[in-house]
Structure formats: C-alpha cells, structure tokens
Amino acid sequence: MPTALITGATSGLGAAFARRLAADGFSLVLVSRDEQRLSESADQLKLRYGVAAEVLAADLATEEGLARVESRVAGGVDLLVNNAGFGHPGRFLEVPVEDEVRMLKVHCEAVLRLTLAALPGMRERDRGAIVNVASVAAFFPRGTYSASKAWVVNFSESAASDVGNPRIKIMALCPGFVRTEFHERASMDVSGIPGFLWLKADDVVRETMRDLALGKRVSVPDLRYKAIVAIGRLVPRGLQARVSSSIGR
C-alpha cells in the first residue's frame, strides 16, 4: 500500500487531500501542530476508509519540528504533499520581522528540505510524487506571502526539471480563494471577495490529482483562475502591484 505524507493535514486543503488519498487507498502520515486534532482526524479517516493513519505533531517553523518530519519523509513516502502554510493580515511593513521569517521557514525552507528528503527514496524506487502547495498569489506581487509562493512555483519547476524522470512527478499547486480556515486564522477580512471566486477544497484536490497524473509541473485549478493568471501575465507589473495591494491577497 503506498504512503502519503501531508503537512497541514487537519483542515482545509490538507484535510481534503487526506480524504481523497485515503479513498484512493493510501496509508497516511498526517502532520500538524495540533496533536489532539491530528488524532481525531486520523481516527475518522481510519473508521471511514479503513486505512492506516500515522500522526506526527510538529511545528515546521521550528528546527526540531522540521527535522522530525524531515526524518520521517526520508524513511520513505510515495507521495509528499507540502501543504502547511499561513498568511498575515497586515502589509509587509506592518508585520514583525520574526513573523515574516517564520513564514519563510514554513513556506520555503520546509518545502525545500522535505522535497530533498523525499527524492532519494523516490529515485531508488523509480517512482513517486510531490505536490508543493503555492497559490495564485505567486503570479502577482503582494508582500512576503506572494513572494514565498512564487519561490515554491519556481523551485518545483526547477526540481522537476533537474530530476528529469517522468515517473517522479513534482508539481506546484496554485489555487485561488478556497473555503478553509486559512483566512480566519490570519484574521483577514474577506468580505469583499466575490462569491464566484471561492472554490471548494475537495474540487481543488480533484483537479490537482488529475493534473499530477497528467504530468503537469504547475496546476492552477478552475477555469476562472486560469483566466486570471493568463490575463495577469499581460498586465504590467506595476499595475499588478497596485491592483493586488488594493484588493488584498
């Protein structure tokens, strides 16, 4: 039975990935900071899908937590989903530097180290897949969040090219607004976001798995966001920044 490790697995996209992969017959390794919530999620998945679900409580913003997950990934996984992440409610100059560095630790360093930990085993087995969750924000200039997600996209494409093995897939996932706890946790006001721009987590995961099977290196789920990204590439960067700043992340 293949094994999937998912970071940020107890809510939002992480929980949706866990449900989908359990339904597909994967054994799961669920990673999150909240041990109680992890255990509850694992019990529910075991009961509903009859799969093994291991829990690993760890904070990827700390060296100890990241090293623990890194060690587990190096022990062998068939699918790695680097999903853990968070946002800040304020603009760049309003956020304490230690909070910005913590974001870079989770969004960039953790993705880098866990990807590198997974690849030796995947290359030895000649198969495997890695999904690095970025964001549509990666294509628009908007503070450290979008900058970190742009790094995830570039890194994923570069890693896939360097590995050069179609049986080892590395893909950046770039969703738009998804109905999850993400914005509430970051104390972000999303009341001004039009209803038609919101996506369901399960729909995003379904499109992600399809794009992964097709060998895509960047996945932008939903035609609405594909159009937004395509149009954004035609708009001067200065205008992009002004628009992005006015409407938020």
* Catalytic annotation, pick one of 145, 151, 155, 182: 145
* H/E element, 128: strand 128-133
CA proximity to 136, closest of 194, 177, 168, 176: 176
Is 145 known to be catalytic?
yes
Handedness of CA 118, 119, 120, 125 (dihedral sign): positive
* 101 phi and psi angles, rounded to 5 deg: -65, -35
C-alpha–C-alpha distance, residues 117 and 72, integer Å: 9
In three-state form (DSSP H/G/I as H, E/B as E, the rest C), the secondary structure along 62-89 is CHHHHHHHHHHHHCCCCEEEECCCCCCC
100 contacts 143 by C-beta, under 8 angstroms: no
Measure Cα distances from 57 to 13, 69, 131 in Å: 18, 9, 20
Catalytic machinery residues: 145
